[in-house]
Structure 1
Amino acid sequence: MYRPTLYSKHDQTMNDFAELFNRFPDYRYIEMRPNPVKTYDNDGVFLDHLHKRKIGYDWEYRDRYFANCIFQYPTLGQFERKIRKPSIQISLQCDSTETGIAAAWHSDWKLEEQQHLDLRTDYEEKEKGTTRYTNKFKIYSYEKIGDFKRMIAAALEFQIYSSEIF
């Protein structure tokens, strides 16, 4: 993350979401487990204790363009440096009001063209980065956490790690 001012908000929103996910009574054998320490790799994993499988995830807190489960653009972006990591299969982007997440599979981003952009940081200079954008993402409301947990359970059971599982 190139915006250190958001580190604590990132961790707090991820931990709150994991608690909500794990508290949901269905699919108790699926656990969202954030990494206890920052690894600069994935942010954690979804563990399937029944089938002995896992999905690595990246978590982002979006302070702009995404609030109240409404994302302002038709495509969702991700940094190439994250898409390339074999330890991350899905990215989750939390909205600024902590009412929804946008979920997208890295396999779908890999089908899209790379774009080279100047990206926002906490500093005056921009980060020159490579990103990809996809329209194959889905927004899940915190109020309907069961829909998201069902999707993760199905992805793990059937080993489908793309938008096909939405």
Structure 2
Amino acid sequence: MFGNIVDFLSRGENIAFFICALLAIGGAIFMLSFTKVVHMVVAVALTFISLAGLYIVLEAEFVAVVQILIYAGAISILMIFGIMMTKHTKEEEEEPKRPWHNGLLFVGAAGLFGIIFYAIQKSQLPSGEYPSMQDNTMEIGKLLFSNHVIPFELMSVLLTVAFIGAIIVAKREED
């Protein structure tokens, strides 16, 4: 069993996949655990960047760049809504501490990890090298700027209008 783990970790791309996967899962867990909006947004950003790292490991560079570009804009809009439209004047009310709750969460997460690890170890996966597409980013770019140029431009206008609208709504609430 541990021989399989050593074989798995012997390749650099597997280590990168493992690190990006842990960061993505950790960012998602932190986002659900934090109570301050800024901390939640940073955790979501960590998750999105880790997902872009996973796309790079899977040789989908275009999707990785789009992941960073699109969600960087989405996170900036989320920060504007979250920070400018929430009240920060009163102190946060603390929830009553439940120490057994965190223990049960840890036991549940460890059990789920164990089940998934066991299922992966017992599954029969096909072996061999799969040829990757040569220069998939160029082919996507050709399609995007020839056949789908109008939807592409409409999406850029939509994102710009959403960003400006978020600023206007936030400023109107402030006044």
TM-score (norm 2): 0.23
Decide which structure has greater helix share.
2
TM-score (norm 1): 0.24
Decide which structure has greater strand share.
1
